[in-house]
Amino acid sequence: MADKSSDRKPRRGEDRAPDPVAERERTAKEAFVRGIIERGEAAKPDRNGKLPPGVTHEILEEVEGELPKIRRHRFSLR
């Protein structure tokens, strides 16, 4: 079956060359989140709403196949 989506007119914002600045920001943000996850610095709060020691970010939302959404709670010394 022919891919009709290729026949239609590009919508606003589609088929444009990727914005290098936005791409750079997206890559930087992904690297930031990936580092936090890999170092175990993100967690869900416990029943009292507290984060474990050493954790700086709360995991807000997890979607399969994607990096979780996180929010900073603290800056730690090390």
Partner 1 sequence: MAVSASRRRQPSRTSGGPSTVGGVNGWQDDPGDSLPPAVPAELRPVPDLSIAPLRMRIDVTPAPAAGAYELGTPEFRYWSAAEALERGATFWRQFLPEGTTWQPGEELRVLLDEGEDFNAFYDRNALNFFHGTAGGRTVFSGESPDIVCHEQGHGVLDALRPELFDAGSIEAAAFHESFADICAIMAALQLQSLRVAILSDTRSDLSRSSRLSRLAEQLGWAIRQVSPDAVDADCLRNAVNSFFYHSPEELPTQGPAAALSSEPHSFSRVFTGAFFEALAGGFRQTATAPTETDLQRVSSDFARLLAAAVQAAPVVPEYFSQVAAALVAAEASNGGKYRNVLTSAFVRRGILSAHAAVGMTAVQTAVPLAAARVAAAVPGASRELPHLALAGADYGLGDIPLLVRAASEPRRLVTAAAAVGVGSVSAPSSERAARAFVEDLIQRGHIDAGDHGEIPGWIVHPHTFKTHRLVKSEGGFVLNRILFDCGFHPHMVR
Binding residues for partner 1, rule: CB under 8 A, are 24-25, 27-29, 31-35, 38-39, 53-54, 56, 71-78
- The distance of closest approach from Cβ of residue 38 to partner 1 in the complex, given in angstroms and rounded to an integer, is 5
Which CB atom, from 16 or from 25, has the smaller least distance to partner 1? 25
- Minimum CB separation of residue 13 from partner 1 in Å reads 22
Classify each residue of 18-54 as buried b or exposed e, where b means 16 or more C-beta atoms within 10 Å of its C-beta.
Answer: eeeeeeeeeeeeeeebeebeeeebbbeeeeeeebeee
